[in-house]
Amino acid sequence: MRKDHPKAAFVTGVTGQDGSYMAEFLLSQGYAVHGLKRPSSVSNTQRIEPLMQDAPQRFFLHEGDLTDSAGMARLVQQVQPDEIYNLAAQSRVDVSFDAPAYTATVDALGPLYLLEAIRLLGLAGKTRFYQASTSELFGHAEETPQSETTPFRPCSPYGVAKLYAYGITATYRRAYGLHACNGILFNHESPRRGEGFVTRKITRGLARLAQGLGGPVSLGNLDARRDWGHARDYVRMQWLMLQQPEPEDFVIATGQSASVRDFLCLAADELGLTLRFQGAGATEAAFVARIEGDQAPALRVGDPVMVVDPRHFRPLEVPALCGDATKAGKHLGWRPEVTLPQLCAEMVAADLAAARREAALRVPDHAMAEPVGD
């Protein structure tokens, strides 16, 4: 890439998990990166703070909301991007059951507004478009593992909204010749994962519990199985998709699946804890059976570490997903580099460091007590 005229990328959702890794990656490739940030009365830039400091000449933030079609067209016109990565979304499947119309507006119509902007501004020959599609499209999948040819059977408002986005992306590719691609991504996590998603809820919850901050982690369906990869590996593949001469859709996955219970045990193991499960379904709980090392000074054998709370059960669950990324390997030479135990270890280490910092700052109760008068 020419240094005096770097490629320009427009990244929606830049403040999110993937957006922050994507911005980092694109900057490392020499791009000028323009990120869309939602206006907010409190700071929402924690994940991109280092980039704002380190690359002020090549990293630009624009305030706006994906649901503002005119605002999106204005930004696309201003930035004239070579590549758009549409990563912004209401990305919580559980939340989509409580906010289905909002989820549809952001997740289905948002990508349409960007595609229309590319088309109407006459940028079809210049601007390439990446849509963050999802394994939730497969829903109650008809076959395992799922690939680019597996039929879609979404079973959440999130999955259904993302199905529209998938379809409209493919339609603009075919109808108007846009270089527009869907990445059908299976779950991917990192220390930057939002705190409401199950892996982060577990690593953060256990790390805090181990340091005497907070109570047992409360979870829903322990038997759900997911194909979990590392977000850093997955943004590299999103970029590779837009570098192909012809636009195509790809599944991005590790090909391995594990249950929520497996992940809980892996995270506990990282803290030197062996768990004993008791009960079943809505009354299941997990207790400390053995402790090794000094990572969990606040816990004793027999302490509860996890309780099932039926409020976390979903109206409709996707019981199991596992992806087949053979096409990505063959066409683009992509393979995930991080295994699930490595991912879990990285997340636990980051959350344990944060919990230790928080515990160290805590004022002991006795120090807060009123002095007894003499």
Among 224, 307, 349, 354, the residue binding ligand F7E under the rule CB under 6 A is: 224
**Interface map 185-204 toward ligand NAP (x if CB under 6 A):** x-xx-----x----------
The CB density around residue 196, as the number of other CB atoms within 10 Å, is 11
Of 204 and 226, which CB lies nearer to ligand F7E in the complex structure? Answer: 226
The conformation of residue 363, written as its DSSP 8-state character, comes to: P
Residue 60 in tokens: 């630009």
In the complex, minimum distance from the CB of residue 338 to ligand NAP, in angstroms, rounded to a whole number = 14
Residues, the chain, total? 374
In the complex, minimum distance from the CB of residue 310 to ligand NAP, in angstroms, rounded to a whole number = 24
Whether 102 sits among the annotated catalytic residues: the reply is no
* Binding-site size, ligand NAP (CB under 6 A): 25
Between helix 110-120 and helix 69-79 the angle, nearest 10°, is: 50
Residue 277 in tokens: 């499960």
Residue 3, helix vs strand vs coil: coil
**Interface map 111-140 toward ligand NAP (x if CB under 6 A):** ---------------------x-x------
Give residues 54-73 in contact with ligand NAP (rule: CB under 6 A).
Answer: 65-67
Among 20, 91, 150, 169, the residue binding ligand F7E under the rule CB under 6 A is: 91
Residue 36 in the binding site for ligand NAP (CB under 6 A): yes
Residue 104 in the binding site for ligand F7E (CB under 6 A): no
Of 253 and 296, which CB lies nearer to ligand F7E in the complex structure? Answer: 253
Residue 203, helix vs strand vs coil: helix
69: alpha, beta or left, given left = phi > 0 and alpha = psi -120 to 50?
Answer: alpha
From the list 12, 15, 103, 134, the catalytic residue is 134
Rounded to whole angstroms, the Cα distance separating 161 from 188 reads 20
Whether 172 sits among the annotated catalytic residues: the reply is no
Q: Using the Cα atoms of residue 216, residue 219, residue 225 and residue 230 in order, give the sign of their dihedral.
A: negative
Cα Rg, the chain, nearest whole Å: 22
Whether 136 sits among the annotated catalytic residues: the reply is yes
93 CB-near residues (< 8 Å, 6+ apart)? 136, 156, 158, 159, 314, 318
Cite the active site residues.
134, 136, 158
Q: Which residues bind ligand F7E (CB under 6 A)?
A: 91, 93-94, 134-136, 186-187, 196-198, 201, 219-221, 224, 226, 260, 312, 314, 317
